[in-house]
Structure 1
């Protein structure tokens, strides 16, 4: 396993694979040398959780929805590359 490892667990019953894959693509594009691995993990029951090294950084059930992409990038950046400027994603 490569570190840091980001997992996106998505509900197959809800057909959220494309959303999960899009988030994965965007994070791999933004952090090409900082993420060791991005895994898509099929789940059921409305799950959509994003974990970084076993820390849940987003849970759809807890936050009542999906993250905005800019917010997700900031959450990941703050943990793996806190000095990185995300350009327009850092602005409100």
Structure 2
């Protein structure tokens, strides 16, 4: 079972993005998760971690919910 953390920038208004990613991950992997957490941040942050490992960072890649779900899959599927 895995733990997902979605850290998002509050001042930037990224809550909707974080909720969209949270919902998509829950729909795909609910049976494989212990917890999914939203973590409030600032300075433009939007990072998705699985068991502490960064699988998506807005600073490096364009935001795409489907791509983020694909990046999460190898870390949680089959556990």
Report the TM-score when normalising by structure 2.
0.89
**CA deviations over 1:11-64 (Å, ceiling 9, x no partner):** 00101011101110111011120111110000000000000011000000122x
Higher strand share: 2
Bigger-Rg structure (1/2): 1
User: What residue is the counterpart of 1:48 in the other structure?
Assistant: 46
Structure 1 stretches of 4+ with a deviation exceeding 6 A read none
Higher RCO, 1 or 2 (CA under 8 Å, sep at least 6)? 2
Gaps in structure 2 of 5+ consecutive residues: none
1:75 aligns to 2:68 (yes or no): no
Gaps in structure 1 of 5+ consecutive residues: 83-92
User: What residue is the counterpart of 1:8 in the other structure?
Assistant: 6
Aligned-residue Cα RMSD (Å) equals 1.2
Aligned length: 78
User: What residue is the counterpart of 1:37 in the other structure?
Assistant: 35
